[in-house]
Structure 1
Amino acid sequence: MYLYPLLIVIAASSYGIVSTIIKLAMQSGFSVSQAVTSQFFFGFCIAICIFIFTNRTKLSFNGVKTLIFAGVFTGLTNIFYGLSLNYLPASLAVVLLFQFTWIGMLISCITKRKFPSRIELISLIILVAGTIPAAGLIHVDLSQLPFQGWLWGLAAALCYSLFLFVNGRATTNMNTSNRLVMVSFFALMMAVFFQSPEVIWNGTLFSEGLWIYGLALGLFGLIIPVYLFTIAVPKVGLSMSSILGATELPIAVMVSVILLNENITSLQMGGIVIIILGMSLPTILNRNMLSITKKSTTLGTK
C-alpha cells in the first residue's frame, strides 16, 4: 500500500537536490546551460547502462509518441528551472517550481472531468500555506527581482506537471528501463538544440571538471526521478503524486543548508513541518477511513 507513494517521495526528494548542485556548478565557473547539458548527457549514458545490464529484450518503440512528450517535458523542466536560477535566488526558484502541486491537480481535474476530493483540497491548502515560510521568503523584498525569472520558474512548474501527467500514462509492451532510455534520449535532444552541446566535445565536460556535476545531476535530476515516477505515478495517480511530490521543497532547503552553508530559521523549519503534514494528510486519512470501513464490514458480517 505504501510502496508506490514512497517511490514518489524518493523521486521528488531526488529532484530537490538539483538546484543546489546547479548552484555549486555555477560557483565553480560553469553556466547553467553547461550544467544542464552535462546532466542530460550523463543521464542518457546511465540509462543506456541500466538498459544493457537489466534488459534482455530489444529496444522497443511501442508508445514512442508518449515518451517523446515525456522526454521533451523533462528537458524543458530542467532548462526553464535553470533559467530561473539565473535571475532568482535558489529558494524562490524552488518555490515557483513547487507550484506544480496545484497545477498537477488542476490538470488531473480537467482530464478526469471531476473535482479533487475534500482531503486533497485540504492537503493542497496546507502545502501552499507552508511554502512561503519554508523557503524563507517572509520579510524579503521581491519587487526588484527580474520578471523573466518568475516566468521561467512558472514555466518549469507547468512542464513538470505535464511530465508527471504524461508519465502516468501506461505504455504497453515497454518495461521501465526501455522507457528510461527513450525519455532520457529525447531530453538530451532538448539540450542539444537549446543548451550548450559543445561542452561534450570541446573538452569542458571532462578536462575542466564539469563531469562531476553532470554525473550528480544526471543521477538525481533525471535517472532516479524518471525511473521511479515511471513506476509509481500510474499506480498513485496525478493528484496524489503532485501532493507527495511536495517533499521536494523541504529537501531542497535542507540540502542547500548542508552544501551551500545557507542559514535556516525556526520559521523555515515550521514551514517544512507544515509541508510534511500536508503531504502526509491524505495517506493518514485514507488509511483511517479504510480501517473504519473494514471494521464496519466485519461488524456487518457478524
Structure 2
Amino acid sequence: MKPWIYPLLVVIGAACYGILSTIIKLANNDGFTASEAVTGQYYTGFLLALIIYIFTRRGIPTIRGSFPVLLAGVLTAITGTMYGKSVEYMPASLAVVLLFQFTWIGMLYECVATRRLPKKSEVVSLVFLFGGTILAAGLIDADISGIPWQGWAWGLAAAFSFAAFVMANQKPVAGMDIITRLFLMSFYATIAITFLQSPEIVWNGKLSEGLWLYGAILGVFGIVLPIFLFSVGVPKVGVGMSSILSAAELPVAIIASMLLLGERLTPLQFVGIFLVLFGMTLPAMLQRYSLKTRRRLSKSVS
C-alpha cells in the first residue's frame, strides 16, 4: 500500500471510536446501563470477529508469542469499562475530551520507551490539539462544577489505558496475520469484559429488548473496525504520530453528539474542531515542507 494509506487508516479507526459515547448515551436513554451497552459491544464484536475468522481462515489460531495481542485485548476492555463509567457521570462530549488526553499521554509513552525528546512539530501539534479540545468541548462557557469527581477520574484513567492500548497494538507478532490478530484480541477483550462488566445480558433478556442493536453498532465501530485498522496502521505510523492522528475521534464525537443527541454546537466549538483538525495535519505538513526545502537546497548545491 502507498505510505499515506497507513495514517488514513489510523484516522478512520479513531473516527470509529468517536461515535461510541453517543451510542452509549442513546442506549442509556432507552433504559440500558452503560455497563450493559459496553458488554454488548464486546460480545457482539467478538461474534463478528469469529464469523470473519471462520469464513477467511482455517484451523485453530496459534497463541504462541501472542502476549502483545493479549495485552492489547485486556487494555481495550479496561478502556471500554472506564470510558463507559465516565459517560455515566458527565456529558458525552466532555467524556470524550478526557479520553482525548491520550494524545499527549501516548506521546509521553513513546518518548520514554524510545528515550527521546518530542519533536518540535509534535509539541506544536499538541498545543493546537489541546487548545482545540478546550474549545470543541465547550468548556469555555460551560458549567462543569456539578460534575462528580468520579467522572473526571474514570475519564482520565480511560485516557491512560487507551494510550497503553495504542502502544501495545503496535507490537508485531511473527506469523500472525491481521484477521487472526483481530479474532484473538477480541477474544481476550471479551474474556476480560466478562469479569469487568455485565455478562448477565446473555441470559436476562436484555439483548432481545433492543440491547442487541446497540451492541451490534458498538461492536462494529468499537471492536472490529478500529482494531483491524489500528493493527494495520499503527505499526507503520508509530505510537506518537498515531496518538496525534487519533485526535480525529474528538470532532467525530462532538458532531455525533450534536446530530444524535441534540447537543448544541457553538461557534467556539466549531473553531475548536478546526484547530484539532489543523493540529492533526500539522506534522505531516511540516514534514512535507522540510522535505521540499531539502530538495531545493540539494538542487541548488549541485
Indicate the residue corresponding to 2:292 in structure 1: 291
Q: CA deviation at 1:285?
A: 1.1
1:36-47 aligned within 5 A: 36-47=38-49
Aligned counterpart, 1:16: 18
Q: Cα deviation per residue 1:23-80 (whole Å; 9 max; x = unaligned)?
A: 0000000001100110000100111111122224641213221111101100011100
Specify the alignment match of 1:195 in structure 2: 197
- Secondary structure of 1:62's match? coil
Matched, 1:273 2:274: yes
* Aligned match of 2:82: 80
Instruction: Give the distance between the partners of 1:33 and 1:202, measured in 2 at CA.
Output: 14
Structure 2 distance, partners of 1:288, 1:172, is 36
Q: SS state of the match for residue 142, structure 2?
A: coil
- Distance, in Å, in 1 between the alignment partners of 2:269 and 2:159 is 22
Question: Is residue 251 of structure 1 aligned with residue 261 of structure 2?
Answer: no
Deviates more, 1:67-76 or 1:50-59: 50-59
Cα distance in 1 between the residues matched to 2:83 and 2:67: 24
Paired with 2:286 and 2:59, the residues of 1 have a C-alpha distance of 42
Q: Is there any run of 5+ residues in structure 1 with no aligned partner, and where? A: none
Q: Which amino acid is 1:166 matched to?
A: A
RMSD: 1.2
State the distance in 2 between where 1:7 and 1:230 align.
9
After TM superposition, the score normalised by the length of structure 1 is 0.96
1:154-193 deviations in whole A, cap 9, x for unaligned?
A: 0100110000000011111100011111111111112211
Q: 2:239 corresponds to which residue?
A: 238
The CA distance in 2 between the partners of 1:67 and 1:247, in whole Å, is: 24
Identity %: 50
Given that 1:101 and 1:242 are in contact with CA atoms closer than 8 Å, whether structure 2 keeps it comes out as yes
Structure 1 residue 220: Cα displacement? 0.4
Shift of 1:291: 2.3
Q: Given residue 253 of structure 1, which amino acid in structure 2 is its aligned partner?
A: I
Q: Distance in 1 between matches of 2:294 and 2:225?
A: 36
Give the letter aligned to residue 291 of structure 1: K
The residue that corresponds to 2:107 in the other structure is 105
1:262 aligns with 2:263: yes
Aligned to 1:121: 123
Q: Displaced runs of 4+ in structure 1, greater than 6 A?
A: none
Which residue in 2 is equivalent to 1:222? 223
Number of residue-to-residue matches in the alignment: 300
Hey, what's the Cα distance between the residues in 2 that align with 1:142 and 1:84?
14
Paired residue secondary structure (2:38) = helix
TM-score, scaled relative to structure 2: 0.96
Q: Aligned to 1:93, what secondary structure does the other structure show?
A: helix
Q: Counterpart of 2:29?
A: 27
- The alpha carbon displacement at 1:91 in A equals 1.4
Provide the rounded CA distance (Å) in 1 between the counterparts of 2:66 and 2:281: 35
Counterpart residue type for residue 240 of structure 1: M
Indicate if the aligned counterparts of 1:40 and 1:188 stay in contact, CA closer than 8 A.
yes
In structure 1, C-alpha distance between the alignment counterparts of 2:95 and 2:32, rounded to whole Å: 19
Residue of structure 1 in register with 2:50 after alignment: 48
Contact kept in structure 2, 1:62 and 1:173, CA below 8 Å: no
**Kindly tell me: are residues 60 and 291 of structure 1, through their superposed partners in 2, closer, same or farther at Cα, counting changes over 3 Å?**
farther
Q: Distance in 1 between matches of 2:255 and 2:57?
A: 36
Aligned to 2:137: 135
Q: Aligned AA for 1:222?
A: I
Provide, for residues 107-161 of structure 1, a one-character-per-residue CA deviation record: whole Å limited to 9, x for no partner.
Answer: 0010000001100000001100110110111122222211111110001001100
1: CA distance between counterparts of 2:235 and 2:59? 23
CA distance in 2: counterparts of 1:296 and 1:4, whole angstroms? 29
Write the letter of the residue equivalent to 2:50: I
Residue 294 of structure 1: how far off its partner (Å) = 3.1
Q: Distance in 2 between matches of 1:84 and 1:256?
A: 15
Find the residue that maps to 1:7 and give its secondary structure. helix
Output the CA distance in 1 between the equivalents of 2:225 and 2:299. Answer: 41
What amino acid maps onto 1:76 in structure 2? I
Find 1:66's aligned residue among 64, 68, 73.
Answer: 68
Shift, 1:212, TM fit? 0.4
Specify the code of the residue in structure 1 equivalent to 2:27: A
